[in-house]
């Protein structure tokens, strides 16, 4: 298929112009009906999917920190997560489970999913995403410990490469009590696994 546009300058081109160039290089005609507004739509979609770059994760938590004497484990599990793999810019998605043992402060429960989204809405690798969530909670409220587990499916494995449709990656970050105390870690892992038996 012949080119329908001249190559664009990468330094001065808009996102829409770069997308049109990409379509041409893929062998498409960006002027055909179904693709005319694709550059605009793609720009809006990617801006939304990477909006975490514009957000400060500590600001999310600092808006909802409360003094509390509670010192048992707090778990927010099965939080849906969508992110973009930085290696192929393809989605990965799954569930995030977060637990912490307070040390005088607790986080408003709705803020844990918000924190996850701040980091997930960036180009990511699952390992870093897991660590960033755990370390931010640890630094912000200084609990006795934090545990984070992510279970995710990666389209870069499902659609290309090995093309394994049912494979999943599991990552964890254990800090404080969750790293040092086997009993605490085991309790957390047992409680997040229990969702499967409850659902059956």
For the stretch 102-150, pLDDT in tens is 999 999 999 999 999 999 999 999 999 999 999 999 999 999 999 999 9
Same domain, 28 and 98: no
Residue 6 annotated in active site: no
Structural tokens at position 132: 């960033």
Same domain, 41 and 130: no
* pLDDT computed for residue 63 by the predictor: 81
Which residues, including other chains, have CB under 8 Å from residue 50's CB and lie 6 or more apart? Answer: 84, 121, 122, 123
Candidates 16, 17, 88, 151; catalytic one: 88
- For 67-92, the pLDDT digits (tens) are 999 999 999 999 999 999 999 999 99
Number of structural domains (the chain) is: 2
Q: Quick one: which of 99, 97, 98, 96 has its CA closest to 73?
A: 99
Same domain, 95 and 32: no
Candidates 21, 97, 132, 154; catalytic one: 154
Task: Find out whether 171 and 130 touch, Cβ atoms under 8 Å.
Answer: yes
Same domain, 173 and 133: yes
- pTM (two decimals): 0.88
Write out the residue range of the structural domain in which residue 177 sits.
57-199
Residue 181 annotated in active site: no
Within-domain flag for 142: yes
Structural tokens at position 150: 């992510």
Same domain, 181 and 106: yes
Same domain, 33 and 67: no
Residue 87 annotated in active site: yes
Candidates 47, 68, 80, 87; catalytic one: 87
Same domain, 42 and 114: no
CATH number at residue 148: 3.30.1130.10
199 — pLDDT class (breaks 50, 70, 90):
very low
Residue 156 annotated in active site: yes
Structural tokens at position 134: 């755990």
Residue 85 annotated in active site: yes
């Amino acid at each position: 298929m012949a080119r329908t546009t001249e190559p664009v300058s990468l330094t001065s081109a808009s996102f829409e112009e770069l997308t049109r160039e990409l379509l041409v290089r893929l062998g498409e005609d960006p002027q055909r009906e179904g693709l005319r507004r694709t550059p605009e739509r793609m720009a809006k979609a990617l801006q939304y999917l990477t909006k975490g770059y514009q957000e400060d994760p500590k600001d999310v938590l600092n808006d909802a920190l409360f003094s509390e004497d509670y010192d048992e484990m707090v778990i927010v599990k099965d939080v849906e997560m969508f992110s973009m793999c930085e290696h192929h810019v393809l989605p990965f998605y799954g569930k995030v489970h977060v637990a912490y043992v307070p040390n005088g402060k607790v986080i408003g429960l709705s803020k844990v999913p918000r924190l996850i989204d701040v980091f997930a809405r960036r180009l990511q690798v699952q390992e870093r995403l897991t660590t960033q969530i755990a370390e931010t909670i640890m630094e912000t409220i200084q609990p006795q410990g934090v545990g984070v587990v992510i279970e995710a499916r990666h389209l870069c494995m499902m659609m290309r490469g090995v093309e394994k449709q049912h494979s999943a990656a599991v990552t964890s970050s254990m800090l404080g009590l969750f790293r040092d105390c086997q009993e605490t870690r085991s309790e957390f892992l047992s409680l997040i696994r229990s969702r499967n038996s409850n659902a059956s």
